[in-house]
Amino acid sequence: MENTIPLGGENPSSVIPRFFSLSDRIGRIRYLVYILSALTSCGLLLILVYIAAYLLPAGLGKLVSTTSYIMVKSVIFPLIVFVMSIRRLHDFDLSGWWSLLVLIPLVPFVLVFVPGKKEANRFGPAPAPNPTSLKIVAVVLPCALVGLYYHMLSINPKARTSETPAASTKPTLRSYDATK
Which is more confident, 20 or 15? 20
Which is more confident, 14 or 176? 176
Q: What angle do CA 23, 29, 35 make, to 5 degrees?
A: 70
Question: Residue 124 pairs with which residues in a beta bridge?
Answer: 121
Question: How does pLDDT run across 84-101, given as a tens digit for each residue?
Answer: 999 999 888 888 888 888
Mean pLDDT of the chain: 81
User: Integer distance in angstroms from the first to the last C-alpha of the chain?
Assistant: 98
**Looking at residue 4, what is its pLDDT?**
41
**Looking at residue 94, what is its pLDDT?**
87
Question: How does pLDDT run across 33-79, given as a tens digit for each residue?
Answer: 999 999 999 999 999 999 999 999 988 999 999 999 999 999 999 99
Measured distance CA(165)–CA(168) in Å, rounded: 8
